Chain A
């Protein structure tokens, strides 16, 4: 009776709730069909992001990893968890309580703590991180959840049930299977569902325990999402479809089979969806794994492990290289040099890295790189002179440049007066006229570079007084300017014209200017950072031969053109650079594309461990000051 009175309120609440839950998903699906790259304005219907997704080996593999890990982890942890729960319920109380505490560890601990525990475990025991470590970790954190949902059902059971069954002549196994398991089935099912949900959605743990190029969808999104890539929306839409289909099968199958056989055995309805789900999973695996064909080529069957920046290769270069050489390329992405350094210093096996200038200097100093075999390199003559023989590797013994450019200010010409920029240079970041309208870039090096250059110092200073001044400059900036500290989100945000100005890499500025005609790029006269990222081969590379082949391929016209036109960063290949900037090129007349090489105040970063530590520490304090400024 009372229920009827509550219904309207409940219904409204439910409807609101469903809108809340589904709105972002609907939004995502709609924008997966967007012709443009924007996430806020729909410019027309197109399937290009789906096409892009299908062409991307990375995405297909991520889809495979996500589903196969989730299915395996669910099956293993549901079975193991149920068995363990039944066992524990009959164990001594001391053991039971103790195990409750142990199981609480992954549930009561923040996920990141669990993740770090796993990571340290695998590293300490020298287990190579990859698919298996991810699966192990998923099983480990899923089991306690399964037990959590099975345990209460076991407790509700009449303890005499199993005894009664066995008194009547059932073996313990039969008692378990025919009496206990059916009784606790709802608990097992919901446990399995929780496990599946946890696994398929997991990011934090996977992120810390994976390696060797194995990525699940979350990791792909995390490393990609900084630069808008609507194929994420496309792949997510596919996932929605797959999951909806699976759920429909699970929910409709019992209805259908019930119709067919009325009330027969309940067992059947559990098997059918199981079979269908497994079949779907197998199909998926087959589709992903054996989608390609194979022929005889020079590096047939070999593997190249590349560790590169996220979104730093052209659309086709990897696939073309694979087609030409027969090799398989596994590309892992990092989003900072430091992140890459930690993995390389921990001897994770890569064949090719693309670090920045100062980091290459560090890797050389620490003897982590091997000298290149110049007799195998055919590309050196094709590179621009300005990007060769730089201080970090004067004779290019170790490195072949990949992309290069400057750091500068991207600004909206309708909001920023060019005179302010010319007068103030980087000082514009302290000009309260633009309060609330600026982006800082979340990088200690570039931020300190900006501050030091604004103050007229060298960005490679070792003078603590100067660093302290730069620190105060930055604190003043975040405290008075209401800044937002972003990383690659700046690219989309500026392309959408959301703020007046921001600190940006020239390559990203190129992209922004290409998308939004109001955007301009400015390099202060007081000098800036002239940077370059180059390809190097680590000492412990397993296939340096193939790595050399890739260096040549990426530096040759076709590869370099694909890279540069897609990413927007300046190619080290002279001809490509001229063609892309020149008439009919992809970035015709966009000045950010051409690095400035004639200002003597521009500098290249030098590696200095002490300064890096000091700046790193001070920068996190700047960020804290920024969060306190609100």
Chain B
């Protein structure tokens, strides 16, 4: 049995180089005085101070988190019923539906986002449809709604697939048992289905929230440069401004915030599971 544990060794070495070291480098760059070379290292916290003393930067951070939260909530509300329906279908139908959900994910995300520009812009499809319902000439493109729509569109499949996976793993006899013991469908859902699907929900939240927070091309394409989010700010520092140290500091701040948030989410998950087993 122990023999198998050796299988992990190459990966551990790889992970140290490819996953741990890059984070270390970001950390290192973020506390370095200006300059893109680590040979002439001198310690400073000025980049962090710069970020936290500027209300504008803090506002961008707040706005990025807010839009990611909104995206995640919408995805959860839409995704859960869809996943539930898929999981309850016959196996063949289930496979076909999953195929339907996954197929768009394989078409380039940027291209799909790009298609929305045509649909949302003035004189585009969506506006024409809205006009039929008498909803005049509302601006659709380059609004927060457009950014939100783009994010939901791109990230919803992650949520659906995660929840569906955990729902379909569920043992159906549990539901029958619950019904036999006199639980109403709602009770069964609340007491059995929901807790059992929670790992999927948590994974779904993670898979939606993270890309939503750091996305920079969706706000750029659908927000028309007006929705400057934290991802845009980091991209800017590295690609156009060339302030790698400040960019690294922002990245570190983001990474730490994410870690903290995810720890909270995991705690919720663990507590729920702990409660169930009693």
In the bound complex, what is the Cα–Cα distance between A21 and B5 (angstroms)? 43
**Cross-chain contact B4 with A120 (CB below 8 angstroms):** no
Which of B11, B117, B144, B258 neighbours the largest number of chain A CB atoms within 10 Å of its CB?
B11
Cα of A118 to Cα of B20 in the assembled complex, Å: 10
Task: Tell me the complex Cα distance, A507–B185, Å.
Answer: 66
Q: Judge whether B248 is part of the interface by a CB distance below 8 angstroms.
A: yes
Q: In the complex, which residue of chain B has the Cβ closest to the Cβ of A246? A: B106
Indicate if B36 sits at the interface (CB-CB under 8 A): yes
List chain A residues, Cβ under 8 A from B157: 21
| A143 to B13 Cα, complex, angstroms | 14
The main secondary structure of chain B at its interface with chain A is: helix
Partner of A86, one of B7, B9, B25, B233: B7
Q: Please state if A111 and B8 are interface contacts (CB–CB under 8 Å).
A: no
Q: Which residue of B lies closest to A346 (CB)?
A: B36
What residues of chain B lie closer than 8 Å to A144, measured between beta carbons?
A: 19
- The 8 A CB mask of B170-206 against A (1 = contact, 0 = none) is 0000000000000001000000000000010001001
| In the complex, A172 has a CB within 8 A of chain B | yes
Report yes or no: A28 in contact with B111, Cβ–Cβ below 8 A: yes
Given contacts A136-B18, A221-B108, A485-B225, contact A120 B121 (CB under 8 A): no
Contact of B213 among A20, A27, A110 (CB under 8 A): A110
Asked whether, in the complex, the Cβ of A221 is within 8 Å of the Cβ of B110, the reply is yes
Contact A99 B12 (CB under 8 A): yes
Question: What per-residue 1/0 map shows which CB atoms of A181-205 lie under 8 Å from chain B?
Answer: 0000000001001001100110110
In this complex, how many residues of chain A approach chain B with their Cβ under 8 Å: the count is 111
Contacts A110-B255, A627-B63 hold; do A10 and B238 have CB atoms under 8 A apart?
A: no
B115 & A95 in contact (Cβ 8 Å cutoff): no
Known: A90-B4, A172-B3. A630 touches B144 (CB 8 A): yes
Chain B residues contacting A551 (CB-CB under 8 Å) are none
Contact of A162 with B by CB under 8 A: yes
Q: By the criterion CB–CB under 8 Å, are B255 and A25 in contact? A: no
Those of B12-33 within 8 Å (CB) of chain A: 12, 14-16, 18-23, 25-26, 29
Q: In the bound complex, how far is the Cα of B114 from the Cα of A626, in angstroms?
A: 23
> Please, which residue of chain B has its CB at the minimum distance from the CB of A114?
B22
Among A40, A84, A104, A623, point to the contact of B118 (Cβ < 8 A).
Answer: A40
Decide yes or no whether A130 CB sits under 8 A from chain B: no
Docked pose: A623 CA to B22 CA in angstroms: 31
- Chain B residues near A (Cβ < 8 Å): 1-12, 14-16, 18-23, 25-26, 29, 36, 38, 56, 59-60, 63, 78, 81-82, 84-86, 88, 95, 97, 99-112, 114-119, 121-125, 142, 144, 153, 157, 165, 185, 199, 203, 206, 210-211, 213-214, 216-217, 221, 224-228, 231, 233-236, 238-242, 244, 247-248, 251, 254-255, 258-259, 262
* 7 extra A-B contacts, CB within 8 A, seeds A28-B112, A120-B244, A628-B59: A22-B104, A80-B10, A113-B214, A120-B25, A144-B19, A203-B217, A204-B216
Residues of A whose CB lies within 8 Å of any CB of B are: 2-3, 6, 10-11, 13-14, 17-18, 20-25, 27-28, 31, 39-41, 80, 83-84, 86-92, 95, 99, 102-114, 116-121, 124, 136, 140, 143-144, 148, 152, 162-163, 172, 176, 190, 193, 196-197, 200-201, 203-204, 208, 217-218, 221-222, 225, 232-233, 236, 239-240, 243-244, 247, 251, 336, 338-339, 341-342, 345-346, 442, 484-487, 489, 493, 496, 498, 616, 620-621, 623-624, 626-628, 630
